[in-house]
Amino acid sequence: MTTSELVTPQHLARKAIIYIRPSTPPQVLTNHESLYLPCALRQRALQLGWRDDDSDVIDTDLGLTAVEASHRAGFKELVTRVTLGQVGIILSIAVTRLSRNLTDWYPLLDLCGFKSCLIANRDGV
């Protein structure tokens, strides 16, 4: 098991959210790695100590650009769940999958800090 000293029982008591968002419809169709990302990121959550039942995948933003969050229902769901204190960690292939816009990125970082929610990819927490 690959753990992190940043993960605490408080984090593990909440959900691990796996956020998947290839940028464009053609990427959804041609980037076959995106089909395996939920499984790889779920495995990462398991390595960090979450149970399989405690991981949810948000993939409703498939094919949508991250330039702006206002049109991404999945990102809004993610922010809402973090705000409600339901999320212990957000897993994504890269932070650019969450946002490419500082106006959306910084509030998410602030919220995660306030609610003690970690952000991780396959390589680090």
Greatest alpha-carbon span in the chain: 40
| Interior/surface letters 74-102, b for 16+ CB within 10 angstroms, e for the rest | bbebbbebbeeeebbbbbbbebebbbeee
Question: What is the model's pLDDT at position 18?
Answer: 93
pLDDT tens digit sequence for 10-61? 999 999 999 887 655 555 555 555 555 778 889 999 999 999 999 999 988 7
Distance CA 53, CA 31 (A): 27
Question: What is the model's pLDDT at position 99?
Answer: 74
Known catalytic residue: 23? yes
Q: pLDDT > 70: what percent of the chain? A: 78
Question: What is the model's pLDDT at position 121?
Answer: 82
Average pLDDT along the chain: 83
Catalytic hit among 23, 34, 92, 99: 23
Contact 11/50 with Cβ under 8 angstroms? no
Q: Tokens 């290839």 map to which residue? A: 22
Question: What is the model's pLDDT at position 67?
Answer: 62
